[in-house]
Structure 1
Amino acid sequence: MTTAQNTPPHTAHSGRPIGAVYADRGRSHFDILLAAMVVVVILSGIGAAKGVSFGTIPGTGFEIITDGGFFLFPLAYVLGDIITELYGPGAARRAILTSFAASILASISYQVIIALPPFPDEYGLAKQEALELALGPVWIVVLAGLVGFLAGQSLNSAVVSRMKRRTGERGLIARLFTSSGLGELVDTILFCSIASVAIGITTIEQWAEYTILGVLYKVIVQYAMIPVTSAVIRWLKRTDPTYQRQLAAATGPGSD
């Protein structure tokens, strides 16, 4: 006869509570980087719905046109570079798709918020009008960002991962320099072409000024950030136990 002592404790077949069970989330930095990218993409989508003009460059007639998300969006590429370098192109694709799934959910939520009936007083109606003006066109910006960022960041990630396969741990700065310009160029052209309607750009000249300035600004910011980006990547590599295990396995006895 089986005694109680022989019955495996805390099992689903024992008929008793099995206690609290949790999945292992690991010890990498990926979840923090992913959360940061999601926040940056969502806030950039809101900010980019506002057109911004800093006037014209004296003596040129070139108008400095951008959008309200210009100061945030380069961070998404910096985070993409870090994720690709640490966790590979598969993780980068997951981060990109997760970011835009969250951004799409946000834009749908904005439309639901706008559609809900406001308070009928003067303040309620004024707020309703403000929400319609501020959040109404965000879905166009999200669509533009989805097309541009998917294409640009995918190219950016592909360049980083291919160069890393050839050079290994060496050549980090070269990878960041090479990938940044290509990704930002493709992204900005696609984004500006679609988002112009939401921002209020109505002429080819304004579109060209918006696009040229966007490419130059984003590439300059990314290049200026490369010393910081590379330092962050090296620190994360040292402190991420999953990366250290993979590095030890790749460089240990018997490795190529």
Structure 2
Amino acid sequence: MNAPADTASSLSRIDGLAGARRHYRYFDYVMAGFVAILLLSNLIGASKLASWQGVTFGAGILFFPVSYVIGDVLTEVYGYANARRCVWAGFIALIFMAFMSFIVVAMPPADGWNGQAAYEMVFGSTWRIVLASLIGFWAGEFVNSFVLARMKLLTAGRHLWLRTIGSTVFGQAVDSAFFYPIAFLGIWTHEQVLTVMVTNWGMKVLWEAVLTPVTYAVVGWLKAREGVEVFDENLDFSPFAKAGPA
């Protein structure tokens, strides 16, 4: 599966530095969607252990992988430097969400309001889950973007499906390897942690594969409207680097 030849040939090839400095029509909207899905999936589904047809998994897996799909779109269409900006934006948003949740939950409830217990159950994530979410997301998303960008150079922009699935294999492995042990080791049994960690990793990769046609459609639509093909050549891939040459 490759991009249509007429679409690919109509795009101007630019390097990662030029891509980082370029103004895009839809970048802000994609970044907003990325951060929104990231926050909602971590807030609503991260700590629930669910089971379906005998398979145990974290409930957040139903929606969190969409943020990885958008992360792939960001790297593929806008380049690693812009994807790096989005990862940091999401990371800071997660920190603020955790801070706000801690303050609001800790505030004494008003007389006559009986929802404190339920509120704490929904929004009172432990420090371990918060820390696990931050570390897992930060490390996993940067690995995902790095692998995809490097694979794009190695494949000369061909085989998008291979890049998106391959980057997810590594990115989600790193995310899960950090998140579940940090969040639940000692709370769940070792067997539960390992089972959920491996199962969720496999399901996230499967989700990426299933959503490949959607990824192709979104990437093709955005590239056609942005008019460029970004290859991250001569770019510093450090998470802490400013957009510039290696």
Coarse TM-score class (shorter-chain normalised): 0.7 to 0.9
Task: Show CA shifts across 1:165-210 (max 9, x none).
Answer: 233332322212221211111111211112226xx94211111121
Q: In structure 1, what is the equivalent of residue 150 of structure 2?
A: 162
Residues 239 and 172 of structure 1, relative CA distance in 2, 3 Å threshold = same
- State the alpha-carbon separation in 1 of the partners of residues 130 and 180 from structure 2: 12
Deviation at 1:161, TM superposition (A): 0.9
Alignment counterpart, residue 159 of structure 2, candidates 145, 149, 171: 171
Q: In structure 2, what is the equivalent of residue 33 of structure 1?
A: 30
Task: Say if 2:102 is the partner of 1:111.
Answer: yes
CA contact (8 A) 2:139 2:174 kept: yes
Unaligned runs of 5+ in 1: 1-24, 58-63, 248-256
Unaligned runs of 5+ in 2: 1-21, 232-246
- State the alpha-carbon separation in 2 of the partners of residues 149 and 160 from structure 1: 16
CA contact (8 A) 2:77 2:219 kept: yes
Deviation at 1:111, TM superposition (A): 1.2
Query: SS of 1:66's equivalent?
Result: strand
Alignment counterpart, residue 215 of structure 2, candidates 203, 222, 229: 229
Task: Say if 2:205 is the partner of 1:219.
Answer: yes
Q: Which amino acid in 1 is paired with 2:30?
A: L
TM-score (norm 2): 0.78
Task: Show CA shifts across 1:132-179 (max 9, x none).
Answer: 122111653332122112222211111111122233332322212221
Alignment counterpart, residue 210 of structure 1, candidates 196, 211, 214: 196
Q: How does 1:138-153 map to 2 (within 5 A)?
A: 139-153=127-141
- State the alpha-carbon separation in 1 of the partners of residues 132 and 45 from structure 2: 10
Deviation at 1:131, TM superposition (A): 1.4
CA contact (8 A) 1:50 1:68 kept: yes
Aligned residues: 210
Q: In structure 2, what is the equivalent of residue 89 of structure 1?
A: 80
Higher radius of gyration, 1 or 2 = 1
CA contact (8 A) 2:76 2:149 kept: yes
Residues 142 and 76 of structure 1, relative CA distance in 2, 3 Å threshold = farther
Residues 89 and 224 of structure 1, relative CA distance in 2, 3 Å threshold = same
- State the alpha-carbon separation in 2 of the partners of residues 173 and 216 from structure 1: 17
- State the alpha-carbon separation in 1 of the partners of residues 197 and 44 from structure 2: 17
Deviation at 1:234, TM superposition (A): 1.1
Residues 179 and 33 of structure 1, relative CA distance in 2, 3 Å threshold = same
Identity of aligned residues (%): 35
CA contact (8 A) 2:48 2:60 kept: no
Deviation at 1:107, TM superposition (A): 1.2
Query: SS of 1:202's equivalent?
Result: coil
Alignment counterpart, residue 77 of structure 1, candidates 57, 63, 68: 68
Q: In structure 1, what is the equivalent of residue 58 of structure 2?
A: 67
Query: SS of 1:133's equivalent?
Result: helix
TM-score (norm 1): 0.75
Tell me which of the two structures has the higher relative contact order, counting C-alpha pairs closer than 8 angstroms and 6 or more residues apart.
2
